[in-house]
Amino acid sequence: MRISKIRLELARDPDFPAGSSRHGYEFTAPLNDEGRIDPDGWKAHRSQCRVYRFWEGEDDAVGHLTRKPGGRWAFHYDIHGDEDDDETGYRFSDHAFVPGEYVSIMEHDDVLRTFRVVSVVPVRS
């Protein structure tokens, strides 16, 4: 298990046909050898599992990587106390966070968007 900083950038979608490096997320999570989020590592290092959402034209948001019932991973922001505003990763438990791969997130406005994994940088072992 290693704690890594993962950068996701918006992939092509109807609003951004070329994708966008100005829209996305950076988050820190423990990854196993296959690049998947390690639930036991998350339990042990929960306070280090932070998320930063950057979206051109909007205020940046900072929060935490959380685990919801059923093992679903989500981003919960410090400025929101309501879990309804959490952004849930679509099948994050199944995805390997490896540069070039794609993941989807159900954002707070109930829009499912696809993001490309741009970088995965180990923070510490």
pLDDT above 90: residue 92: no
Task: Tell me which H or E stretch contains 26.
Answer: strand 20-31
Select, from the ranges 5-14, 55-64, 86-95, the one with the highest average predicted confidence (pLDDT). Answer: 5-14
Backbone phi, psi, residue 11, to 5°: -85, 180
Which percentage of the chain shows pLDDT scores above 90?
69
When pLDDT is cut at 50, 70 and 90, the band that residue 107 belongs to is: confident
Residue 51: name the closest of 99, 92, 101, 17 by CA: 92
- b/e map of 31-40 (b: 16 or more CB within 10 Å)? beeebbbbee
Per domain, the residue ranges of the chain are 2-120
Instruction: Note the pLDDT tens digit of each residue in 6-19.
Output: 999 999 999 899 99
Instruction: Note the pLDDT tens digit of each residue in 33-53.
Output: 999 999 999 999 999 999 999
> Residue 95, CB half-sphere, CA atoms under 13 Å: how many?
20
As separate numbers, helices (DSSP H) first and strands (DSSP E) second, the chain gives 1, 8
> What is the overall mean pLDDT for the chain?
91
